């Protein structure tokens, strides 16, 4: 089995709820069978930025993390990275089994 990189947004009262919502949306869109290559395959997240960023800056940082093969998010079995966005949403980034 392989893996795919993903970048997706989630919204909620806090990072945990945003993560849960993003996972649910991905599972609804791509199925519940596993190996979707999306955030639906993730069980946890880790904060990879402390301060909220603009949506464009958050996406640029997410791409940087993927290209740098950042150890916090590189495992397809490990956590997703969470980046706070200044509009109140969260950007999640990582590598998921496919």
* Strand ranges (E), 28-88: 45-47, 80-84
Q: What is the pLDDT along the chain (98 residues), one digit of tens a residue?
A: 699 999 999 999 999 999 999 999 999 999 877 899 999 999 999 999 999 999 999 999 999 999 999 999 999 999 999 999 999 999 999 999 99
In the 8-state DSSP scheme, what is residue 86?
T
Say what the pLDDT of residue 34 is.
82
For 87, the 3-state DSSP assignment is coil
């Amino acid at each position: 089995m392989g893996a795919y990189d993903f970048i997706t947004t989630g919204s909620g009262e806090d990072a945990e709820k945003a993560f849960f919502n993003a996972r649910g949306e991905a599972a609804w869109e791509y199925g519940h069978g596993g190996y979707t290559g999306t955030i639906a395959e993730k069980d946890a997240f880790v904060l990879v930025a402390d301060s909220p960023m603009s949506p464009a800056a958050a996406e640029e940082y997410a791409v940087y993390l993927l290209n740098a093969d950042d150890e916090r998010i590189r495992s397809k079995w490990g956590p997703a990275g969470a980046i706070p966005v200044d509009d109140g949403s969260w950007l999640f980034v990582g590598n998921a089994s496919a």
